[in-house]
Amino acid sequence: PCHSPMKLQEPMKTVKALVGPNVLKSERCCGESGTLGVTRPDISTQIRFRKEEEIRKGEAALREQGATGDLKILTSCPSCLQGLSRYRDDLSNGLLEADYIVVEMARKLLGEGWLEEYVARANQGGIERVLV
């Protein structure tokens, strides 16, 4: 069994410790899972509308807490990342950027150049194997 700290405590506590305190959890689906958007655009559009409403409410709450500039919405799902990228122009006061939560955590923990450094080390044979 896995006993990692991430699985033993409330996930938002871990996320806030790694990313910072200005984080809100979004419970709504973006409507992009599998082929839903293609096979049932009627349902997918309604799900997207509700997600957009939640994003706007989240934006307002973060602005009230003092957040300025562009906001990020983070996920661990490839379908969500694709779907969430469609919301980038939906904010009232700035851009909404969608990204993977692990990418944001790497950026916060390792710095802005983490990906370039990782690729350089990998290309130089500095990484023998990667466990996922």
At residue 1, the pLDDT reads 44
Give Rg (Cα) of the chain. Answer: 17
User: How far is it, in rounded angstroms, from Cα 52 to Cα 57?
Assistant: 9
Q: What is the mean pLDDT of the chain?
A: 78
> Residue 118: is its pLDDT beyond 60?
yes
104: amino acid identity, one letter: E
Look at 128 and 73; give whichever has higher pLDDT: 73
Question: What is the tens place of the pLDDT at every residue in 120-132?
Answer: 887 877 666 555 5
Question: What is the tens place of the pLDDT at every residue in 93-109?
Answer: 666 788 888 888 888 88
At residue 90, the pLDDT reads 66
Burial class for 29, CB neighbours closer than 10 Å (0-12, 13-18, 19+): middle
- Kindly give the pairing relationship between strand 71-75 and strand 96-100: parallel
